[in-house]
């Protein structure tokens, strides 16, 4: 997907894994007929979670095809991709490939915490964080925002070495779900839906990104099971 920037066409790639989040990103790209310039697929061939029929049906309502593997979706749509036999975003072989890719941006969907070597490899890395930063940095933020605000937000930002502190590209708010499949299905839906907004509106080309005020906001850690249960129950009211 080449988009016109200030001085040249911007080239955008994506880094996928076999996990449900990558499945959601890929499903939405296919449904919206968006073709990116480079697809990297980190595939360790380890069997992933098996989803129930209820989870599969809920995912389909969001346009996510978790009844199919990422590899199957790629093959069915005749999408060219570079496959690596591991899931490790900091692997030296992957980094060397990225350095030679001539991409301006890579959409990051998972595979570890980006270290300095890959962050300095050339392209900017874009993350879709399930929280409205700076107020919701860290882990499982969608549960905290359900409890505090009765909704969920996603922030698209340019990744750097600090946790959820990069320049903000775009933010979007979603109503809380009315089901219990939050960790995998809802989380993947709101991230991938925000990605489509960013791509359709050519927000990466404009590079009109906002610097965060890192002196304000909150950083959250993995939510306690009791608080998680309270958040889920509130979704069913």
What would the pLDDT profile of 21-45 be if each residue is shown by its tens digit?
999 999 999 999 999 999 999 999 9
- The CA distance from 199 to 192, in Å, is 11
Both tokens assigned to 119? 């962050």
- Alpha carbon 156 to chain centroid distance? 9
CA atoms within 13 A on the CB side of 22: 24
pLDDT for res 8: 66
Phi-psi region of 181 (alpha: psi -120 to 50; beta: other; left: phi over 0): beta
pLDDT for res 5: 59
pLDDT for res 2: 64
Helices (H), 36-138: 53-61, 70-76, 92-99, 116-119
Biggest alpha carbon distance in the chain? 52
| Closest residue by Cα to residue 125 from 139, 110, 107, 137 | 107
- Cα separations in angstroms, 18 against 21, 150, 174, 193, 221: 8, 31, 26, 19, 25
Which three-class secondary structure state does DSSP give residue 7?
coil
Residues of the chain below pLDDT 50: none
pLDDT for res 49: 87
Which three-class secondary structure state does DSSP give residue 61?
helix
Both tokens assigned to 15? 């880094």
- The CA distance from 67 to 55, in Å, is 9
φ, ψ at 84 (rounded to 5°): -120, 140
Angle at 144 between CA 191 and CA 235, to 5 degrees: 80
pTM comes to 0.95
CATH class of 2-128+157-170+182-207: alpha beta
pLDDT for res 237: 81
- Cα separations in angstroms, 32 against 3, 112, 189, 210: 16, 27, 14, 27
pLDDT for res 4: 59
Residue 230: which residues within 8 A CB-CB, separation 6 or more?
A: 147
């Amino acid at each position: 997907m080449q988009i016109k920037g200030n001085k040249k066409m911007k080239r955008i790639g994506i880094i996928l894994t076999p996990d449900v989040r990558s499945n959601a990103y890929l499903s939405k790209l296919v449904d919206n007929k968006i073709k990116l310039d480079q697809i990297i697929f980190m595939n360790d061939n380890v069997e992933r979670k098996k989803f129930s029929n209820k989870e599969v049906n809920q995912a389909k309502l969001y346009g996510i095809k978790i009844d199919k593997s990422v590899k199957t979706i790629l093959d069915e749509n005749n999408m060219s991709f570079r496959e690596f036999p591991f899931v490790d975003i900091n692997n030296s072989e992957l980094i060397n490939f990225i350095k030679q890719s001539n991409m301006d941006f890579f959409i990051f969907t998972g595979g570890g915490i980006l270290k300095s070597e890959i962050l300095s490899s050339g392209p900017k890395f874009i993350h879709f964080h399930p929280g409205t930063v700076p107020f919701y940095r860290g882990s499982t933020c969608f549960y905290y925002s359900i409890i505090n605000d009765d909704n969920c937000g996603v922030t698209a930002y340019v990744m750097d070495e600090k946790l959820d502190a990069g320049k903000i590209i775009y933010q979007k708010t979603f109503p809380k779900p009315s089901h219990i499949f939050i960790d995998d299905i809802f989380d993947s839906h709101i991230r991938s839906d925000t990605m489509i907004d960013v791509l359709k509106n050519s927000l990466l080309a404009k590079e009109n990104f906002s610097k965060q005020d890192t002196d304000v906001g909150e950083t959250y850690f993995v939510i306690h099971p009791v608080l998680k249960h309270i958040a889920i129950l509130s979704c069913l009211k």
